[in-house]
Structures are given as structure tokens and as C-alpha cells.
Amino acid sequence: MIPPPEGAHWVAGAIALLVGLLLIAEVLVGPEVFRRRAWRAYLFPALVLVSSVLLWVITIFSTFSTLHLLAHAVWAQAALLAGAVQLALVRGKLASPMWSLVPAAALFVSGVAFLVHEPNDWLYSRSAFLHHAIGWMLVVSALFPLGQALRPRQIAWRLGFAGTFVLLAVLLFADRDAAPIFGRYGIGGP
């Protein structure tokens, strides 16, 4: 009953899409309005923490490859840390915008893990292409929370952070276990 990897990636894409929509909504209405209802305020940290738990489950099943096991463990740990900090920010235990450095580090480490654990070139297969694309996207996207930490009033950082999750969802939805890169166009692939 273990789901195929592409199915797990699509579920992860759905969670990323929901997180992206929530963050876009928060940018549109502002944090004060968004956090007027407690369940909404806690939804983003909760989703990140649930993602972390699911990533740990996937880590357990990633015994077919040491690199996959390590990469998923790194993502799980990064998500756990980022989720915990977000939870503390919502609870009011933490207040400094400099805590945005934690999600910045989480995105950067996650991106590096994507890049390191893909042994093939960009054009080897759809999966290899997406690993490279997601890895570099996350490394670059780490700039958004970094900007939030340094200039918290700039709305562009928050919008960029939200857009990161929507783009991540699109890339995860495009994942296939075995497929040429652009499907019927036959570009790439072994």
C-alpha cells in the first residue's frame, strides 16, 4: 500500500499549493486580518509541521537509496524547524523579523539537498529535470525570507515567498517517475 513516488510528490504539491494560496491571501489582506481567526493563523505552521511528519514517513520508506534517505531527512528536519519557528511567531513567543532567517536557511538547505541527491544531468529524464529545477528554484527563493528578515516592510518579499510555494506545487505536480522531460515532444529522456 506504499504510494508510488510520483503520487507522494503530487500530494506534496497539493500541500504546497494550499500553503501558497494561504500566503497569497495573507499578503492581500495583511497579517492582522489574516490572524483574526486562530485556526487561520495556525494553519500555515500546522501544514509545515504536518509536511515534516509526512517527510519523516517518506524518509523511513526511502531505503532504496542512501542519498534519497538523507535528502528526505534533511527536508523533514528543515520543515520541522521552519514550522516550529512559524508556530512560535504566531504564538507571540518570538517577535523579531530576523527569525525569517530560519525559513531562508530551510529553503536554501532544501534546495541544495535537491541538487545534491540527483545523480543525473538536467536532460536525463523528467524527474532529473524537476530535481534540478526545484533545487535551483529553492536556492534562489531563499532570498525572499532573507529579504523579509532584513526589510520586513517590503511586500515583495512576502509575495515572492508565497509565489515560491505555488511554483513548487506546479513543479511537483509535473513530476513523473519515468517520462521524457516534455512528454509528447520527446525532449530528453534516456
Partner 1 sequence: MSSDIATSIPRERVRQVVRRPWRPLTIQLLGPLTILGGLVWAVAQPYRIVLLDRDGRGLYDYLFQAPLLAIAVGLVFTFAVAPGLVEDLATTERDDPAA
Residues making contact with partner 1 (CB under 8 A): 3-4, 7, 10-11, 13-14, 17-18, 21-22, 24-25, 28-30, 32-34, 36-37, 40, 173
Q: Which of 73, 32, 34 is CA-nearest to residue 54?
A: 73
- The distance of closest approach from Cβ of residue 134 to partner 1 in the complex, given in angstroms and rounded to an integer, is 15
What is the nearest approach in angstroms of partner 1 to the Cβ of residue 14?
4
Smallest separation (angstroms) from partner 1 to the CB of 36: 5
In the complex with partner 1, the residue whose CB is nearer, 98 or 170, is: 170
Least separation in angstroms between CB 55 and partner 1: 17
Amino acid residing at 189: G
Question: 39 or 64: whose CB is closer to partner 1?
Answer: 39
Q: How far is the CB of 145 from partner 1 (least distance, A)?
A: 22
Nearer to partner 1, 18 or 139 (CB): 18
| Calpha distance 50→58 (Å, rounded) | 12
- Shorter beta-carbon distance to partner 1: residue 70 or 179: 179
Closest by CA to 149, choosing from 136, 158, 138, is 158
Dihedral sign of CA atoms 16, 18, 20, 22 in order: negative
d(CA 177, CA 4): 8
Our CB check for partner 1 shows the closer of 22 and 81 to be 22
